[in-house]
With several copies, the nearest count.
Chain A
Amino acid sequence: MLSMNISYFAWVRERMGKGSETVTVPTGIATVRDLIGWLATRDAAGAAAFAEPERIRVALGATMANLDDTLGNGDDISLFPPVTGG
């Protein structure tokens, strides 16, 4: 079982109703994609935020990452929509 810190941004944050949380995920959650799938089934907020995984971008620590990257215990994970600055 992994424990990690997740931060949410923009409409992902709004739909989750929180900016961050620390979670302990069930055995079998190995990648970011797994994590998103688990969040989407955890509660209604997660279902609203993560209904379309292809619209989610991810960072591990301060580095852009991919949905298929592997999670590690204690990771800082950021989940957010495609960026729209500029």
Chain B
Amino acid sequence: MKRALVTSGAIDVVTEFAVHDRGGHGATASFIGRVRGDDGVSELMLEHHPAMTAAALDALATQAQARWALDCVSVIHRIGAMQRGEVIVLVLASSAHRDAALAGASFLIDRLKTDVPLWKRETLVDGNQRWVEPRANDEARAAGWD
């Protein structure tokens, strides 16, 4: 099973995990990214590309399933405005095997950071806004999966 989508509503982590739990897979690995509250950010806005973003998430999920024995993959990214502590992204990879689940989940989040058209804009508590810059090691981590 493959589930890849962008959503402007809150990501329901429990419901998404339940899909994998029902499958009875031996192993599920996950990654959850949240809006951090420790750096003076009051709101995060995620901009996407209407014609590309969902397709890019789907392509990533397809790549992961082709490379590892993954019975179920979910890649869900929120767009629009969100607050501290809210979930930005959820990645789930299930397999009969631990190695495949762990590698699949890491691959999905590492590649999402470089391959999927999404842009973060932070609003600080003083009202200023700034576009987030890529982290220096994002490209290196993503290239590690080539």
A9 and B98 CA atoms in complex are apart in Å by 25
Q: How large is the interface on B (under 10, 10 to 19, 20 to 34, 35 or more residues)?
A: 20 to 34
A86 touches B113 (CB 8 A): yes
| CB contact list, B99-146 vs A, under 8 A | 109, 112-121, 131-134
Check B52 for interface membership: any CB of A closer than 8 A: yes
Q: Are A80 and B131 in contact (CB under 8 A)?
A: no
Q: List the count of A-B residue pairs having beta carbons below 8 Å apart.
A: 68
Contact at A86–B52, with CB atoms within 8 Å?
no
Q: How far is the CB of B32 from chain A (nearest CB, A)?
A: 11
Distance to closest chain A CB from B146 (angstroms):
15
Partner of A9, one of B49, B112, B114: B49
Residues of B within 8 A of A (CB): 33, 46-47, 49, 51-52, 55, 77, 88-89, 98, 109, 112-121, 131-134
Q: Could you list some 20 contacts between A and B, CB below 8 A? A: A9-B117, A10-B47, A10-B121, A11-B119, A62-B52, A80-B117, A80-B119, A81-B131, A83-B113, A83-B118, A83-B119, A84-B120, A84-B133, A85-B77, A85-B113, A85-B116, A85-B117, A86-B77, A86-B88, A86-B113
